[in-house]
């Protein structure tokens, strides 16, 4: 009975897949189809009603923005043709002509104004307020100057407006008014290279090429329609299953390839690994508010005690860039000549002794479960210099509360990170290093740094602004509120039938130029 049952099931299965294969080729005909094995489903398809990077990655293939970024992360016009800053609080955008929405209607200045009104006005989305409002800072009003020009008016100077605009996508005013704001959660009428075919929630999002596409940003060749006929984002949350899907040929691109699976994908004849510098700065926040890390000598000792290169090579498989400060090398005003805390156990011990800890210190190192390996490696390396850290694993929200919200910081060290999708210093330095910042796990407080960050956040002159950030980076580097670690790369697995696609540092997966053999 047992064997019979299984034999029968196997036969059914073989038959099933054979039949499926025949039918799939038959049904698809000559159409080219690109599949992405993606770690999460979209929460909604409404570009204004979420705060979620994965959702944006999916949506961005169907919706275009006023501005976008090229592969080198430069900000370039997309639905705008050009833009200029009129004064410290005013920007004018010239709207590209000849752009149509998926329903064939032309995109106008009205649509751009409507899109941003929906984002920044209270209760503008059928009674809801957009959770993305905060991403537009002091944007107060959007007005139509003439049919080709839209003016963005800020309530205070905010030089990073252009850096934040690629995060917003333009919707059709007529469509939203006709269908109702809530309908955008599941219906798409964008101006992007692909149009929505079907959203099988939790399973996949299917899109096909939009033949009326205007071609995309002129600064990012090739300009024109998308290469593939159909795109499917398949939701596969478990990384081992995502790797299996890539190896079996089920999908052509997977995101968040774990470092330990890189060799497996690289060795496979039909697949390859591609990486790109990410935007998430990793660091060990040292508790600057209490002993022993209130002493700068101890903090410097910790920086000297860690052999970063060893961890990057052995645990991260070489997929990270060491840092001496808070900024990614791709970020605006990155200071490339910050002094490095070279790996030097003797120096670390001497600094500890000088600080009054000749016998070393006993501390705890908090970490989230997924990064336990790295934390343990860090702890064992620090121990050689007399910094004996006990690793304590905690759940993400618990650690956020303990390190970022509780009034009294009780921990010693925590391995943590902060993302900087806009690649502008204000978006990472202000939360993590300004006194009382939302992400200031270290409890770092330096009036001079605070002042520089406040001034720079509204400084319009790029050179002056960069100079202020350079100065702040130098102070932070010298005071070492953290053990400066590294910037992990984003790792993707791709099929060799894929061409024309490269990963992007802002973790978007833009499929406009991707082709499959």
Return the residues of window 258-287 that contact other proteins according to CB under 8 A.
280
What is the rounded distance in angstroms from the CA atom of residue 124 to the CA atom of residue 49? 11
Q: Which of 77, 111, 70 is nearest to 96 (CA)?
A: 77
- 3-state SS, residue 453: helix
In the region spanning residues 370 to 409, those forming contacts with other proteins, defined by CB under 8 A, are 395-398, 400-401, 404-405
- Alpha-carbon span 35 to 248, nearest angstrom: 13
Cβ 79 to other proteins shortest distance, Å = 23
Residue 428 touches other proteins, criterion: CB under 8 A: yes
x-or-dash string of contact with other proteins, 459-478, rule CB under 8 A: --------------------
Q: Choose between 218 and 263: whose C-beta lies nearer to other proteins.
A: 263
- For residues 466 and 43, give the distance between their C-alpha atoms in angstroms, rounded to a whole number: 37
Identify the residue among 180, 224, 237, 329 touching other proteins (CB under 8 A).
237
Rounded to 5°, the CA angle 383-388-394 comes to 115
Q: Calculate helix-pair angle for 372-383, 296-305, nearest 10 degrees.
A: 110
Identify which range of 81-89, 287-295, 429-437, 482-490 contacts other proteins by CB under 8 A: 429-437
Three-state SS for 46? coil
238 binding other proteins? (CB under 8 A): yes
By CB under 8 A, is residue 128 in contact with other proteins? Answer: yes
- Residue 253 touching other proteins (CB under 8 A): no
16 binds other proteins (CB under 8 A): yes
Residue among 135 and 306 whose Cβ is closer to other proteins? 135
Q: Is 168 in the site for other proteins (CB under 8 A)?
A: no
Assign 3-class secondary structure to 127-163. Answer: CECCCCHHHHCCEEEEEEEECCEEEEEECCCCCCHHH
Of the candidates 69, 91, 79, 226, the one whose C-alpha atom is nearest the C-alpha of residue 157 is: 91
User: Is 187 among the residues that bind other proteins (CB under 8 A)?
Assistant: no
Cα distance between residue 39 and residue 287, in whole Å: 34
Binding residues among 197-236 for other proteins as defined by CB under 8 A: 198, 200-204, 206, 232, 234-236
- d(CA 438, CA 441) in angstroms, rounded, equals 8
Q: Which is nearer to other proteins, 27 or 269 (CB)?
A: 27
Task: Find the binder of other proteins among 1, 269, 342, 346 (CB under 8 A).
Answer: 1
Q: Are 116 and 140 in contact (CB under 8 A)?
A: no
Q: Which is nearer to other proteins, 30 or 397 (CB)?
A: 397
- What is the x/- site pattern for other proteins, positions 286-325, by CB under 8 A? ----------------------------------------
**Cα angle for residues 438, 412, 380 (degrees, 5° grid):** 120
The reply to whether 508 sits near other proteins by the rule CB under 8 A is no
- Structure token digits, residue 462: 């790029």
Helices (H) and strands (E) in the chain, counts: 15, 20
The answer to whether 322 and 486 have CB atoms below 8 angstroms apart is yes
Instruction: Single out the residue of 98, 104, 134, 447 in contact with other proteins (rule: CB under 8 A).
Output: 134
The reply on whether position 185 binds other proteins by CB under 8 A is yes
CB of 307 to other proteins, least distance (A): 27
Of 132 and 304, CB closest to other proteins: 132
For other proteins, the closer CB: 249 or 339:
249
- 32 touching other proteins, by CB under 8 A: no
Q: How many other CB atoms are found less than 10 A from the CB of residue 373? A: 15
Strand 413-419 and strand 361-368: pairing?
A: parallel
Span near other proteins by CB under 8 A; candidates 149-157, 248-256, 326-334, 505-513: 248-256
Pattern 39-58, binding to other proteins, x per CB under 8 A?
-xx-xx-x--xxxxx-----
């Amino acid at each position: 009975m047992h064997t019979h049952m299984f034999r029968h099931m196997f036969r059914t299965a073989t038959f099933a897949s054979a039949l499926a294969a025949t039918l799939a080729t038959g049904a698809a005909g000559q159409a080219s189809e690109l599949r992405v094995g993606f770690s999460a489903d979209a929460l909604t398809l409404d570009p204004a009603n979420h705060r979620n990077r994965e959702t944006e990655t999916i949506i961005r293939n169907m919706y275009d923005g006023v501005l976008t970024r090229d592969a080198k992360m430069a900000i370039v016009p997309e639905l705008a043709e050009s833009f200029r800053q009129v004064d410290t609080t005013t920007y004018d955008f010239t709207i590209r002509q000849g752009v149509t929405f998926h329903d064939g209607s032309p995109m106008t200045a009205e649509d751009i104004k409507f899109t941003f009104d929906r984002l920044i006005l209270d209760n503008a989305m059928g009674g809801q307020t957009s959770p993305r409002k905060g991403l537009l800072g002091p944007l107060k009003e959007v007005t139509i100057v003439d049919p080709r020009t839209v003016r963005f008016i800020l309530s205070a100077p905010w030089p990073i407006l252009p850096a934040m605009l690629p995060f917003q996508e333009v919707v059709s005013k007529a469509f939203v008014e006709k269908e109702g704001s809530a309908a955008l959660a599941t219906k798409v009428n964008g101006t992007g290279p692909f149009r929505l075919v079907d959203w099988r929630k939790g399973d996949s999002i299917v899109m096909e090429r939009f033949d009326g596409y205007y071609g995309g940003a002129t600064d990012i060749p090739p300009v024109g329609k998308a290469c593939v006929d159909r795109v499917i984002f398949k939701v596969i949350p478990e990384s081992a299953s995502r790797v299996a899907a890539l190896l079996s040929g089920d999908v052509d691109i997977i995101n968040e390839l774990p470092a330990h699976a890189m060799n497996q994908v690289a060795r496979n004849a039909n697949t390859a690994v591609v990486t790109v510098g990410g935007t998430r700065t990793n660091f060990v926040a040292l508790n600057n508010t209490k002993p022993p890390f209130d002493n700068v000598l101890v903090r410097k000792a910790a920086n000297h005690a860690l052999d970063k290169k060893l961890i990057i090579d052995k645990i991260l498989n070489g997929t990270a860039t060491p840092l001496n400060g808070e900024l990614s090398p791709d970020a605006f005003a990155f200071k490339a000549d910050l002094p490095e805390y070279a790996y030097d156990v003797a120096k670390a011990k001497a600094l500890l002794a000088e600080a009054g800890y000749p016998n070393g210190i006993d501390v705890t190192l908090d970490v989230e479960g997924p990064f336990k390996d790295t934390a343990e490696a860090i702890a064992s390396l620090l121990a050689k210099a007399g910094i004996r850290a006990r690793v304590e694993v905690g759940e993400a929200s618990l650690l956020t509360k303990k390190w970022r919200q509780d009034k009294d910081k009780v921990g010693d060290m925590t391995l943590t990170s902060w993302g900087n999708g806009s690649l502008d210093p204000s978006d990472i330095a202000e939360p993590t290093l300004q006194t009382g910042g939302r992400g200031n796990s270290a409890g770092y407080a330096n009036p001079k740094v605070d002042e520089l960050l406040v001034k720079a956040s509204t400084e319009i002159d790029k050179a002056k602004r960069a100079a202020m950030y350079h100065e702040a980076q130098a102070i932070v580097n010298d005071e070492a509120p953290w053990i400066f670690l590294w910037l992990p790369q984003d790792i993707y697995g791709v099929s060799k039938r894929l061409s024309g696609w490269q990963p992007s540092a802002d973790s978007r997966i833009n499929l406009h130029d991707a082709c499959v053999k």
